[in-house]
Chains A and B, each alone.
Chain A
Amino acid sequence: MATDVRLPGGTLRLSSARLALLYAALVTIFTSSVLLAVYLLTRNALEREISAVVRAEVEDLSDDLRLGGIAQVAATLRLRADSWGRTGAVFLLADPEFRPVAGNLTAWPRDVVPVGRSLPESAMVEFEIAAHERGESVLHPVEARIEHLANGYWLLVGADTSERLNVLRRFGLATAWGIALTALCVWLLGAAYARRTARRVRAYATTCETIMRGDLTQRLAVDGSHDEFDALAVAVNAMLDRIEHQTTTLRTAFDSIAHDLRTPLYRMRMRLEEAQLREGLPPEAHELIAPALHELDRVQRTLATLLEIARAEASGVTTHGEQVDLAALAANMVELYAPGMLAAGLHVSLDAPEAAHLTGNRQLLAQMVTNLLENALKYVPAGGRVQVSVRNTPGGVSLRVADNGPGIAAAERAAALRPFVRVGDAAARAAGSGLGLSLAAAVARLHGAELKLGDNGPGLVVHCELPAAARRESPGGVAQVG
């Protein structure tokens, strides 16, 4: 019957957050790959530039060697002795025993003495040189090329790479920050969007719940952003307008019919009673009038029950919310029915705590328990057992009425809660008005609970979890979402 469409807020939030995280991860991976590729390309370009410069210098000096021999190379190098300070270029011409001849290095770097005095062609070597800057000894990384000249002399041409490393480090740092900030932004945007979506969906769900509790005047909030949510809300609201209109028409018609029926029924009853009181009436007339009055009462009771169901379904909130002790109420009802049940060969028992409080309508709750007991009285054959249990639960109070009678087939349970539906065999169908369970279900709904029919193997078990206080609508009906 009443399906619980409440959205589990926790799950919703989790799934949106998961989506945001997934997007953030994807964007981060993509951005990282692009920036890493840029970094590697830049590093390669810088390295190629250095080796190109070094090669060009080596070629110049080779020309000097060809034109003027070692003396010419030494002279050129002496001219460029200050080049370290200007361009970071490093030169050293050394004799076959690696003793410096000319250049801006004081000694041949120890860690790059070619093993076996032979070198692979145009290999680049790396080492560090100590320089004195502002009274401090600083190590500078240098990348250089060593040439074995024709007469056994060694020529070292290199460049200080600290600047290049600095650039790369800064670039790397910028890249890392860029990736981190991008990921953060994407995640924040995703989370904000997910939150907004979740909030609106939850607001809609809350409004729908309010409507289901009977307040048909509620509408989904349209916030004027003209987005897909607004489009959905406008469409749903149009549907709700129609439903409300139809429901109001039906209810008005139903109310007027019920009221218009009461007056003639009332007069009919009065006339019959007047006839009954007339003196000199043959006894046969009394035999006719009494059953007619009895039938009239039955019609009246059915009408009253229907009205009560309609009222319970129509009003979203109980009109007389009061503290009700369901344990005491159940005890009262069991006490009322026990002798009748005993006479019908049924054994009724109560299992209830000292007290079980909830906010509700005592008379309607009593009517619910009455209908469940009447039901058992009607359908459970002699020798059967009826067990009424009341329990305090974390959320409120649970009520359970179980019997070992014929029960209701699983397929017929939903229908059994609808007005005028009677289930079971012909004899069972004839016994009731078909309104008892329907009214009980309406009362449960009015108290924010759902009446559930189950199998007691064998028999019927009717169960409902009544919340401690039926939830009330917030003013305006817009959900308050934290």
Chain B
Amino acid sequence: MHLLLIEDDAEAARFLAKGLRESGYVVDIASDGREGLFRATEGLYDLIIADRQLPHFDGLSIVAMLRKNGKHTPVLILSALGSVDDRIEGLRAGGDDYLAKPFAFGELLARIEALLRRGSQPEVTTRIRIADLELDLLGRKVTRAGSQIDVTAKEFQLLEFLARRVGQLVTRTMLLEAVWDLHFDPQTNVIDVHISRLRAAIDKGFDRPLLHTVRGAGYVLRDGD
């Protein structure tokens, strides 16, 4: 996977590139808006990570110009502007995701992975199977090893979000955004309680747990450890 990182802060760029390369990505770095726009237009990237505040062109302008030229490469915007409004403005401008600095590297990795997988995933699915867990997306029913499990509407939404990203790390903020449409972090870890209830519903009484917690990062639904 080939990524373009447009970031004028050399220190930040170095760290992000290093981390991303260690995670198996090929990373190009552009240090200002003009270079970034040029590379993004010319090169074939799977994903662009653009800082919002850049010399010459800011991140939002880059997204707008790319879209005008018919480029649909996913763009993840990074910004020191952490306000809720800034975040929504960034998404409205055509950015595919928005991350406020400072963020945990794990959060960035999870979001990159989610954006890259988004394109390859078949959208029209009516059933998802993970080991012996089965989700009926039309009937909104959950069964495990053939027996039905009662879950609330929100628990089903949570489970569906995780199941559609099976094997991928899903962070708390991703869940808050997708399931509750909240673009800010509550102070207490309210999500953890929802996850433990969901885990009690689907994993309790079974030898093989499916819903795993990745410490300090988020959750992942997968068959096996």
| Residues in chain B near residue A270, CB distance under 8 A | 11-12, 15-16, 102, 105
Contact (Cβ within 8 A) B154 A266: no
A117 to B137, CA, bound (A): 130
Contact (Cβ within 8 A) B185 A301: yes
Known: A274-B18, A301-B185. A308 touches B104 (CB 8 A): no
Contact (Cβ within 8 A) B11 A267: yes
Contact (Cβ within 8 A) A308 B84: yes
Q: Which of A342-365 contact B (CB under 8 A)?
A: 342-343, 361-364
**Hey, what's the 0/1 contact readout for B90-111 against A, CB within 8 Å counting as 1?**
0000000000111111000000
Contact (Cβ within 8 A) B83 A277: no
| Residues in chain A near residue B183, CB distance under 8 A | 363
CB distance from B30 to the nearest CB of A (A): 19
Verify if A42 is at the interface (C-beta below 8 Å from B). Answer: no
In the A-B complex, the 4 residue pairs with the closest CB atoms = A266-B102, A363-B84, A339-B193, A270-B15
Contact (Cβ within 8 A) B85 A366: no
Contact (Cβ within 8 A) B197 A339: yes
Verify if A377 is at the interface (C-beta below 8 Å from B). Answer: yes
Q: Which of A313-369 contact B (CB under 8 A)?
A: 319-320, 332, 335-337, 339-340, 342-343, 361-364, 366-367
**Hey, what's the 0/1 contact readout for A166-201 against B, CB within 8 Å counting as 1?**
000000000000000000000000000000000000
Q: Which of A241-274 contact B (CB under 8 A)?
A: 259, 262-263, 265-271, 273-274
**Hey, what's the 0/1 contact readout for B164-193 against A, CB within 8 Å counting as 1?**
000000000000000011111111101001
Tell which of B80, B197, B216 has the most Cβ of chain A within 10 Å.
Answer: B80
B-binding residues in A (CB < 8 A): 259, 262-263, 265-271, 273-274, 277, 290, 293, 296, 300-301, 304, 307-308, 311, 319-320, 332, 335-337, 339-340, 342-343, 361-364, 366-367, 370, 374, 377, 433, 436
Partner of B184, one of A267, A274, A336, A367: A367
Partner of A363, one of B11, B88, B194: B88
Verify if B19 is at the interface (C-beta below 8 Å from A). Answer: yes
Verify if B123 is at the interface (C-beta below 8 Å from A). Answer: no
Contact (Cβ within 8 A) B105 A273: yes
Contact (Cβ within 8 A) B19 A277: yes
A339 to B185, CA, bound (A): 17
Contact (Cβ within 8 A) A364 B12: no
Verify if B55 is at the interface (C-beta below 8 Å from A). Answer: no
Tell which of B11, B18, B184, B185 has the most Cβ of chain A within 10 Å.
Answer: B184
| Residues in chain B near residue A269, CB distance under 8 A | 102-104
Sample 9 A-B pairs with CB under 8 A, ordered by A number: A269-B104, A270-B11, A274-B19, A336-B182, A336-B186, A337-B190, A366-B184, A370-B182, A370-B184
A319 to B84, CA, bound (A): 11
Verify if B22 is at the interface (C-beta below 8 Å from A). Answer: yes
Contact (Cβ within 8 A) A266 B80: yes
Chain A contact residues, majority secondary structure: helix
Contact (Cβ within 8 A) B154 A311: no
Contact (Cβ within 8 A) A259 B85: no
Verify if B136 is at the interface (C-beta below 8 Å from A). Answer: no
Contact (Cβ within 8 A) A290 B18: no
A443 to B186, CA, bound (A): 16
A294 to B180, CA, bound (A): 24
| Residues in chain B near residue A319, CB distance under 8 A | 85
Closest to A273 in B: B105
Contact (Cβ within 8 A) B188 A263: no
Contact (Cβ within 8 A) B83 A262: no
CB distance from A367 to the nearest CB of B (A): 6
| Residues in chain A near residue B105, CB distance under 8 A | 270, 273
Closest to A299 in B: B102
Verify if B9 is at the interface (C-beta below 8 Å from A). Answer: yes
Known: A266-B12, A266-B102, A270-B15. A308 touches B83 (CB 8 A): yes
A290 to B183, CA, bound (A): 25
A304 to B83, CA, bound (A): 7
A273 to B186, CA, bound (A): 23
Known: A332-B180, A336-B180. A374 touches B187 (CB 8 A): yes
Contact (Cβ within 8 A) A301 B187: yes
A263 to B197, CA, bound (A): 38
Contact (Cβ within 8 A) A267 B80: no
A271 to B154, CA, bound (A): 37
Contact (Cβ within 8 A) A290 B216: yes
Contact (Cβ within 8 A) B186 A370: yes
A273 to B80, CA, bound (A): 18
| Residues in chain B near residue A361, CB distance under 8 A | 84-85
CB distance from B119 to the nearest CB of A (A): 28
| Residues in chain B near residue A301, CB distance under 8 A | 185, 187
Partner of A304, one of B82, B88, B180: B82
